[in-house]
Amino acid sequence: MRNLNLDQLQTLVAIADLGTFAAAAQALHLAPPTVSLHIKELESRMETALVLRGRRQAGLTPAGQALVQEGRKLLAASDDLIELVQRRASGREGLVRVGVSAGVSTRLLPMMLEALTRKNPGVEVKLEAVGSADAMLRLKASTLDIAIVASPQPVIAGIRLTPWRNDPMVALLPASWKAPRQITPQWLASRRWASFAPATQMHGLIASWFGQAGYNPRPFLTLSYPGALKSLAAASQSAALLPLEEVEDQKRSPQVQIRQLSPRLMRPMAVAHRHAPAPNPAIASVLEVLADFAT
């Protein structure tokens, strides 16, 4: 049985992304007849039509859509394999794919990467923004090496979870607001506040803080990145609930004020990775650096 031709698969992905055979040919630096031949041979290999050929646009059949969706993963894996071989050939240790959830401090990440570079310059980290639940599944599927996730997480065979940080949450408020020394659910529920996107565990953590006090207010806005939430408070648009670690750089800003929450709200995080009797040295190096930043 013939294996898939990655060049042909790349051609199909290019057609899906760009919409026409001609655009795919130009992007891939191929002659138009070569693009047509790639698709013809790929359809022959799959024994089904993959592309709907129109006068102006080329679409995908359901089979073509499925092949493109899974084919992207195959092409990414191929790139990773080439990168791995080249790194090993040059004496470098390797690439480590780290999934980072929305609640991870954007202040901590550069500090951790800098520490890794000092300790082991041969290791390169590829950061990917991914929700905690998806990160656990990707660890199981070996498309991530390490993930920083909200805690707790359901137990998955072969995945080790190590408590990492337990940071207090605080309210970041516009400087113009007259606010008490401690922010309660009752006080904040009647004002504009922004939260993390509903798909994140941070959103659930904040909703639970309100819920335990008998409130169920809707956020003014939901966003995926801490930096965007901070900018809302700085622009006097709304309050934002964030980990204290995330707002350390705002302590001297004249545009905002930081208040403790009452009752206290903590954000627990864990480091997840696949358990292996002999861990990859590059992965072990990243885990060691993460441990240095644990609380």
Write down the pLDDT at residue 1: 46
Angle (deg, nearest 10), helices 32-46 and 6-18: 110
174 cis-preceded (ω within 30 degrees of 0): no
Q: Around Cβ 208, how many Cβ atoms within 10 Å?
A: 11
Please, what's the largest Cα pairwise distance for the chain?
72
Q: What is the pLDDT along the chain (295 residues), one digit of tens a residue?
A: 467 899 999 999 999 989 899 999 999 999 999 999 999 999 999 999 999 987 778 889 999 999 999 999 899 888 878 876 776 665 555 788 999 886 676 778 888 989 988 888 888 888 888 888 889 999 998 889 999 998 889 989 999 999 999 999 999 999 999 999 999 999 999 999 999 888 788 888 999 999 999 999 999 999 877 888 999 999 999 999 999 988 988 989 999 999 999 999 999 999 999 988 777 888 989 999 999 999 8
Measured in whole angstroms, how far is the alpha carbon of residue 144 from the centre of its chain? 11
Cα 247 to Cα 225: distance, rounded to the nearest angstrom? 13
Q: Where are the beta strands (DSSP E) in 227-285?
A: 239-243, 256-261, 266-274
Read off the pTM: 0.65
